[in-house]
Structure 1
Amino acid sequence: MEGQNLRVLISAFIGLFMLAVPDTDGAAAILKRSTWSPENFSAGVTYMKKYGWMPPPDPEASELITEMEMRRSIAHMQRFFRLPVTGQMDDKTMKLMQRPRCGVPDVDVDQNGFRSRRYSINQNLKWGKTDLTYSFENYTPDMHPTQIRTSIENALKVWSDVTPLRFNEISRDGIADIEIMFAPREHGDGFTFDGRGGTLAHAFFPGEGIGGDAHFDDDEMFLYNTDVNGIDLFTVAAHELGHSMGLGHSENPAALMAPFYQGWNPDFRLDYDDIVGIQMLYGSNPGPRPPPREPEKPDVYATEPPPPPPPTTTQQPGDAVCSIKFDAISTIRGELFLFKGDQMWRTTTDGTPYPGYPTDIDLFWDNVADGITAVFERQNGLIVFVKGNEYWEFNGLTPTHARPKPMTDFGLPSSISIDAALPYNTEGKIYFFFETQVWKYDEYSRIIDEGYPKRIKKVWDIGNDLAAAFRFKEKTYFVKSKRYWKLNDTSSQIEPDYPRYFAVDWLGCPPPETDEYDTETDTETHNHGSRTLTSTLLILIPAAVLCLRSAVL
C-alpha cells in the first residue's frame, strides 16, 4: 500500500508540473508517463546517486525523488554515453547500468546542474611533482604477488610512457603517494564495495592522506593478463591509476578512462583521448616516444591461460575503407587522422588502421560540422577544422570559441572554400589550396605572403582540386581522389614513381585490378596539354609548307 501511495503521489506531482515546464531539451519525452516497476525505480535512483547523476539527498529536505527528476537525470546520462535520449530506463540503458565499472562518479551535480568530470584540468587535482611513490597495503589471494606487482607496474607504465611521470615502489612501512589495497565491502574510506560484479574498484584524485590511493574490491576474481572467469587486474588498475593522476571519466567509449570495464586486450594501446587528457595535466614525455606496450606473458603462477591474440586483419578488396575518397587528412600530435563525413580513422604507416575505428568525430571534438574540407594543427598546437569559409578551433579537445569563425582571419577571400591546408610549423607557414590556386599564410605576421596566391603548378608539379595535403615524419604529401604524391622537400620536386594509390600504401588495401587513373579530370592539365599540342602544330605546319615549296622549286 505504501508503494502504491508513493506512485500516486509522484504521478500527481508530475501532473502539477506538466503545464509549467517548457518543452526544452526533450522535456516532453522526459515527462511521459512511466511504466517502471517500483524495483526498477529504486535501483535506478540508487545507481544515479552512486555515480553522480543525481545529487545526494538534502538532510533537511524530504527523501522524495520525483519521476521528473529521475528522467531528466537519465536523459543526461544517456546523452553522455551516446545512447538514444529517451529519459526512460530502456533496455540499452539497463544493459549499460548492469556492466561492471569503476566506482568513481561520472559527473558532479550542483546548483548549476550537471558538470562533467571528463578531465580534471583543475590544477589543484594534480600532483605537484613528477616523481611519485607507491606501495602495497596487501595482496589479493586470487593471484601470486609477483603477478599483482607486474600488473600494477604495467598499469603505471601506461601513464609514464606519455608523460614526465615516474613511479617507484617503496615498502608499506613508508609513506607512499599512492597506496594499493584489496578489500571487500566496507573498508574504512566511506565508499563501500558491493560484492562481485557492479563496482570493481575506485581511486582518489591526487592530494594528501587518502588522495591518490587505489582500492580494489576483493570480492572480485582478479586475474593476470586474462579475464576468463574473472577480471583482468591490469585493465582495471590502468584505469584507476588514471584517477590517481587526476583524470576523470571520459564519455568516449574507446578511451581507457571510460567508466566501464572493457576487458583484457593483449594489443592494448592508450587511446588518443586519454593521452590528450593526461598531457593537459603533466605535459608530454620529454624523452623519445616509447613503443606500444607489449603485454606480459603469464608466468607459472597464472590461474588461467590467456586466450590467443586476435588474428591480424588486413584490408580486403571489398572493404569500404579501400574505396573512400577522404574529405581531409591531417597529422595531429604526431599521428595520422583521416576524415570522411562525420567519421574519422587513425592509422599507422604500416597499413594498419587502429582498432575501434571509424568513430564519430564528435566523440573527440564536439560540434564540428560534418563534411569538413581541411584539418590542420597550428604552430601553437591549436587544432583547426575547416568547412566552407568557416573554421572551428580546439585546444586539445576543448573549443577555443563557442561558434565557428571566418577563414578571413587567415587573410583568405570570403568567397572561397578551401580544398586543403598544409602547415609547415617549423617555418611558421600554412599553405591553403583552392582549385588551381595556393595561398601562403605567415603565422608570425598573420598575413598572406607577398606574391600569393599563385597557381599550384607554379609551386609544385601536382594536380589541382586537391583533397588533402599533410606533413608526416618530416615528409610532405598531397592527395587527390585515390592517389597521392610525395614531395622532395630539398628540391621541391615530386619524388619519382608518384602518384601512387593512397589506400594501398597507407591503409593496407590490395592494389586495384586495373591501373585506372582517377575519374576526375584535372582541367588545367587537360587544357595545358591541348595548348601544348596547338602550339606544336602552329610551329610544325609553317615548317612543312616551307619544305614543300622548296621541293617544288
Structure 2
Amino acid sequence: MAGMGSLCAPGAAVGVVLVLCLGGILSIPSGPRRGRGEAGSTDVDPEQYLAKYGYLEVDQLQHTRNLRHTWKHAIRSFQRFNHLKVNGRLSRQAVNIMKQPRCGVPDIDTTLGSPNRKHRHKRALLTGFKKAVNSVYGLKWRSNQLRWKMSRYTGRLTAEQQWATLKRVFGIWASQANLTVVHTSSDADIEVVFGRGSHGDGNQYAFDGSGPQLAHAFGPGDAAVAGDIHFDDDERWTLDDNDTTSKDLFVVALHEAGHALGMPHSRDRKAVMYAHYKGYDPSLSLSYDDVRKLQTFYGARPVPAPSVSTSTAAAVAPTSTPEPTTCNMPFDDVIYGPGKQGYVLSGRHVYSLKGRGEEGAALDRGPYRLRRVLKGSPIHISAAVYVAEKKRLYIFKGYRVWRYTRFRLDRGYPTRPSPYPPERPVAALGERDYRGKTKIYVFGKRYVWVYDQDRDSRVGSYLWIRTFWRGLPSPIDAAVQWGDGSVYFFRNNKYYRLSKYYRAIMAGYPKVKDVAWLSSTCWKK
C-alpha cells in the first residue's frame, strides 16, 4: 500500500518519496486512465507501472525500450522487491502482481541514484532503511505528539464508523512506539480525506477510479500535504466484510497510517507495510518488521516498572556480603551456535552452555583453549557472532575480522573492514528475521552498525545505541539472540532481556548473571 517519505504519494509520480524534503516535485505523464466503475479492466502498462512505483527514472521513461540494460535492470529490481525469480524478463507472474490492488506510493526512491549505476537498486533496498533511520531526509516527525482529523468522508460508511476506524488505526501504531496520536477538530499534522480523480493534490496524484490504486499518503515534513492520507472514493469501502469485490477500510487505513508516520514499504509479505492489498483479515496486526522500523524512528514505548511492595523491596535489597569474585567470569561474548547450543567466550577459553538460557542455563563443558578450537584466533576477543544459515562464525577484535566456516579459518582472513567502523567493537549480535536470515549488529561503546557479511564492510551509517536499544548500559560486554528468540545483553555481572517487539528492557531486569547463566558455579581462572 503506501510508501514513505516527504511526498509519499502516488499517481504517476516517480521518486515522490522524500521529494518534498528535497524541495522538488517529479512527475511523469500518467498512463492509460480508467473510468469509474471499470473494476473488471485488467490492462496494465509495465513501463508506466515500473516508472510510477520507482523502478525507472523519469528521464529514462521515453528511452527504456532502446536502452535494454536499463529496462532489464528495472525488471530485476521489481522481481527482487517482490520475491520473484530475478532474470530481467517480464514474466506473466510479474504482470499479475502489477495488476493487484495496491497503494500509489513508489516502492523505491529513484532520487538515491541513477538506474544505470551498478547495483543502484540493490543498494537502495539494502541501505534505504538505514538512511531513513538516520533521518537524512527528515522521514520522521520532529515531535512524538501528533494530531489527526478527518475532513472528508465517504458515503459508503457512516461517519462514526470511519472516525472509529481511524482512531483504532492510529492507536495500534502508537501503542508500539514512544508515540502519541490524538484526534483534533482544529489544526492537525495528519489530515484524512476521501476523494475522486484529481482531488486537490495535483493531477499527477489523481486516483484511477475503481481500479488498482486504492489510496496514498504523504510522509512527514513541512509541506502543506505532509502526513495527509487520501482514499479513493470510487472504491467500494466496507468494514469486517469478506466480500472480494470490496475493500476493507481498516486494512488499507492501517497501512496508510504507517506511511503518514514515515514508514516505507516492506518486502515482507506478512507486514502491514507490504505494498499490495491482501484482502480482509480479521486477525490483522503489525508484524515484527513493522514494529522494528517504527521504533527505529520514534523509539520503543517505555515499559512501566513493576510495583514493588515495601516487604518485597526489603527482601531483595542487596546485602553487605560481596559475591565471590571467582563467580564473576567476564563474558567477552556469547554465541548461540552449532547444535543449537550456547557458548561463552572468555579470555583464552571457551565454555559450552546447556539448557535453554536464562534460568535453565549452566556451564556444561570446558574450559577449552580458544586457539585449539579456533586455530589462528585472537585471545580476549572483542566480539563474536554465529550465522547459522551459513555455518559461519565471525570474530571481531580491534579493526580486524576473523571468519570461520565449520570452525576452519577462511582464506583471506583476518581482514580489515572498509570503511573502518566508527569505534572498536565491544560486542556483536546476530538477529534472525522471519525468514531465518541473520543480520549482524556490531556494537561499540556508543554506536551500533550493521555488518555486511558479503563485502566485509559496514552497511550504511551507524546509530546511537541508546536510540535503537533503549535503556542498555554502556558499554556492553556481550549480546546474543537465544534459541527462544529473546535477545540478551550482558554487562559485568548483570544481564538484560529485551522485548522482541519493543526493543526496550523488560520489567524485572537486570538480573544477576551467574545465578541464571552459570548456575552459581564458581569457575577458577
Relative to the length of structure 2, the TM-score reads: 0.52
Which residue number in structure 1 is paired with residue 148 of structure 2? 134
1:80 correspondence with 2:94 = no
CA shift for structure 1 position 221: 1.2
Which residue number in structure 2 is paired with residue 510 of structure 1? none
Residues 368 and 385 of structure 1 are in contact (CA less than 8 Å); yes or no, is this contact kept in structure 2? Answer: no
Aligned runs of 1:113-512 on 2, under 5 Å?
Answer: 113-114=120-121, 115-116=124-125, 117-118=128-129, 120-123=132-135, 124-171=138-185, 174-190=186-202, 191-208=205-222, 209-228=224-243, 229-288=245-304, 327=340, 370-372=389-391, 383-384=429-430, 392-393=440-441, 399-401=450-452, 428-430=476-478, 489=516, 492=519
Residues 426 and 478 of structure 2 are in contact (CA less than 8 Å); yes or no, is this contact kept in structure 1? Answer: no
Go from structure 1 to structure 2 and tell me whether the alpha carbon gap of 1:259 and 1:121 turns closer, same or farther (over 3 Å shift): same
Q: For the residues of structure 2 that align with 1:221 and 1:42, how far apart are their CA atoms?
A: 21
Secondary structure of the residue that 2:295 maps to in structure 1? Answer: helix
CA shift for structure 1 position 159: 1.3
Go from structure 1 to structure 2 and tell me whether the alpha carbon gap of 1:223 and 1:260 turns closer, same or farther (over 3 Å shift): same
1:94 correspondence with 2:121 = no
| Aligned amino acid, residue 267 of structure 2 | E
Q: For the residues of structure 1 that align with 2:71 and 2:231, how far apart are their CA atoms?
A: 30
Query: Once the two structures are superposed, what CA deviation does each residue of 1:132-161 show, in whole Å capped at 9, x if it has no partner?
Result: 111111111111111111211121122101
Which residue number in structure 2 is paired with residue 532 of structure 1? none
Go from structure 1 to structure 2 and tell me whether the alpha carbon gap of 1:76 and 1:401 turns closer, same or farther (over 3 Å shift): closer
| Aligned amino acid, residue 200 of structure 2 | G
Q: For the residues of structure 2 that align with 1:41 and 1:185, how far apart are their CA atoms?
A: 18
Q: For the residues of structure 1 that align with 2:300 and 2:427, how far apart are their CA atoms?
A: 13
Query: Once the two structures are superposed, what CA deviation does each residue of 1:499-524 show, in whole Å capped at 9, x if it has no partner?
Result: xxxxxxxxxxxxxxxxxxxxxxxxxx
Q: For the residues of structure 2 that align with 1:397 and 1:263, how far apart are their CA atoms?
A: 38
Query: Once the two structures are superposed, what CA deviation does each residue of 1:219-266 show, in whole Å capped at 9, x if it has no partner?
Result: 111111334231111111111111111111111222111111122322
1:53 correspondence with 2:101 = no
Which residue number in structure 2 is paired with residue 105 of structure 1? 106
Go from structure 1 to structure 2 and tell me whether the alpha carbon gap of 1:475 and 1:142 turns closer, same or farther (over 3 Å shift): same
**Which structure is higher in RCO with an 8 Å CA cutoff and minimum separation 6?**
2
Go from structure 1 to structure 2 and tell me whether the alpha carbon gap of 1:210 and 1:133 turns closer, same or farther (over 3 Å shift): same
Go from structure 1 to structure 2 and tell me whether the alpha carbon gap of 1:475 and 1:180 turns closer, same or farther (over 3 Å shift): closer
Go from structure 1 to structure 2 and tell me whether the alpha carbon gap of 1:258 and 1:394 turns closer, same or farther (over 3 Å shift): farther
Residues 51 and 104 of structure 1 are in contact (CA less than 8 Å); yes or no, is this contact kept in structure 2? Answer: yes
CA shift for structure 1 position 42: 7.6
Greater mean deviation of Cα atoms: 132-141 or 121-130:
121-130
Q: For the residues of structure 1 that align with 2:339 and 2:234, how far apart are their CA atoms?
A: 49
Q: For the residues of structure 2 that align with 1:56 and 1:381, how far apart are their CA atoms?
A: 44
Residues 73 and 88 of structure 2 are in contact (CA less than 8 Å); yes or no, is this contact kept in structure 1? Answer: yes
Go from structure 1 to structure 2 and tell me whether the alpha carbon gap of 1:382 and 1:233 turns closer, same or farther (over 3 Å shift): farther
| Aligned amino acid, residue 239 of structure 2 | Y
CA shift for structure 1 position 426: 11
Go from structure 1 to structure 2 and tell me whether the alpha carbon gap of 1:328 and 1:175 turns closer, same or farther (over 3 Å shift): farther
| Aligned amino acid, residue 145 of structure 1 | A
Go from structure 1 to structure 2 and tell me whether the alpha carbon gap of 1:275 and 1:212 turns closer, same or farther (over 3 Å shift): same
Task: Give the count of matched residue pairs.
Answer: 319
Secondary structure of the residue that 1:199 maps to in structure 2? Answer: coil
Secondary structure of the residue that 1:275 maps to in structure 2? Answer: helix
Which residue number in structure 2 is paired with residue 8 of structure 1? none
Kindly report the root-mean-square deviation, in angstroms, between the aligned alpha carbons of the 2 structures.
4.6
CA shift for structure 1 position 57: 3.3
Residues 44 and 98 of structure 2 are in contact (CA less than 8 Å); yes or no, is this contact kept in structure 1? Answer: no
Residues 303 and 507 of structure 2 are in contact (CA less than 8 Å); yes or no, is this contact kept in structure 1? Answer: no
Residues 328 and 372 of structure 1 are in contact (CA less than 8 Å); yes or no, is this contact kept in structure 2? Answer: no
Q: For the residues of structure 2 that align with 1:429 and 1:394, how far apart are their CA atoms?
A: 12
CA shift for structure 1 position 87: 1.4
Go from structure 1 to structure 2 and tell me whether the alpha carbon gap of 1:492 and 1:207 turns closer, same or farther (over 3 Å shift): same
| Aligned amino acid, residue 82 of structure 1 | H
Residues 148 and 224 of structure 1 are in contact (CA less than 8 Å); yes or no, is this contact kept in structure 2? Answer: no
Query: Once the two structures are superposed, what CA deviation does each residue of 1:470-494 show, in whole Å capped at 9, x if it has no partner?
Result: x998799xxxxxxxxxx96399279
Secondary structure of the residue that 2:133 maps to in structure 1? Answer: coil
CA shift for structure 1 position 269: 2.5
Residues 387 and 393 of structure 2 are in contact (CA less than 8 Å); yes or no, is this contact kept in structure 1? Answer: no
Q: For the residues of structure 1 that align with 2:192 and 2:157, how far apart are their CA atoms?
A: 15
| Aligned amino acid, residue 49 of structure 1 | A
Query: Once the two structures are superposed, what CA deviation does each residue of 1:9-37 show, in whole Å capped at 9, x if it has no partner?
Result: xxxxxxxxxxxxxxxxxxxxxxxxxxxxx
Percent identity of equivalent pairs: 28
Which sections of structure 1, spanning at least 5 residues, go unmatched? Answer: 1-39, 290-324, 331-366, 407-423, 433-440, 450-470, 477-486, 495-553
Secondary structure of the residue that 2:45 maps to in structure 1? Answer: helix
CA shift for structure 1 position 397: 11
Q: For the residues of structure 2 that align with 1:429 and 1:166, how far apart are their CA atoms?
A: 34
Go from structure 1 to structure 2 and tell me whether the alpha carbon gap of 1:42 and 1:144 turns closer, same or farther (over 3 Å shift): closer
Q: For the residues of structure 2 that align with 1:431 and 1:108, how far apart are their CA atoms?
A: 34
Secondary structure of the residue that 1:215 maps to in structure 2? Answer: strand
| Aligned amino acid, residue 275 of structure 2 | P
Residues 103 and 215 of structure 2 are in contact (CA less than 8 Å); yes or no, is this contact kept in structure 1? Answer: yes
Larger radius of gyration: 1
